[in-house]
Amino acid sequence: MTTTEPIEPTDFRWTLPRKRMAAGALLFDEDGRILLVEPTYKPYWEIPGGVVEADESPHTAACRELKEELGLVRSLLPLLTVDWVPPHDGRPEAMLFVFDGGEMSAEEIAGITVPSEELHGWRFCTPAEAAQLLKPAQGRRVAASLDARAANEVVYLENASTLDSPGQQAEPLGPKR
């Protein structure tokens, strides 16, 4: 019979899994078009956002990324979707959070500044145009986030899709506000 030594709580914590996280925000103009950014290091457009740093909340990361990428200050962003993304292309699984950045004023739009080393530029586009510019999974995530915003709900996704397969239901987490 073998005896297993108990693990100290501090040692046990180092055995717990860690997940990669990213956070972004949907921003709109007065016509309801979505703001997308064009990264210098990727061949496709994205919503503003990025990696959640160590010891940073997803909400704080989204606000930080808006400031870094656009010069835009936002302090309270309602959550729209939470998406679990399985491992792919050599990357570990991830949790992605999309927040509602709201409608931008004309002054905010005029004041957009982008870091040239990170972004080629930005543009507003319709949801249909966005679907053509985004990677397919990001397009599905944006569409689900727009639906969540319209329904005033927070929605859980897996791999950028709701849980609508037979025997499962989409899982709204409840009202945003």
Per-residue pLDDT tens digits for 98-151: 999 999 999 999 999 999 999 999 999 999 999 999 999 999 999 999 999 999
Residue 1 lies in a domain: no
Stretch (H or E) spanning 146: helix 136-151
Distance CA 18, CA 9 (A): 17
Residue 91 is encoded by which pair of tokens?
């990357």
> CB of 52 within 8 A of CB of 92?
no
Q: Each residue of 14-69: pLDDT tens digit?
A: 777 788 999 999 999 999 999 999 999 999 999 999 999 999 999 999 999 999 99
Q: How confident is the model at residue 170 (pLDDT cuts 50, 70, 90)?
A: very low
CATH of the domain at 138: 3.90.79.10
Distance CA 74, CA 44 (A): 25
Q: Could you tell me which of 176, 78, 88 has the C-alpha nearest to residue 137?
A: 88
**Can you give the residue range of the structural domain that contains 33?**
18-175
pTM score, two decimals? 0.86
Distance CA 110, CA 104 (A): 10
What total number of domains does the chain contain? 1
Residue 6 lies in a domain: no
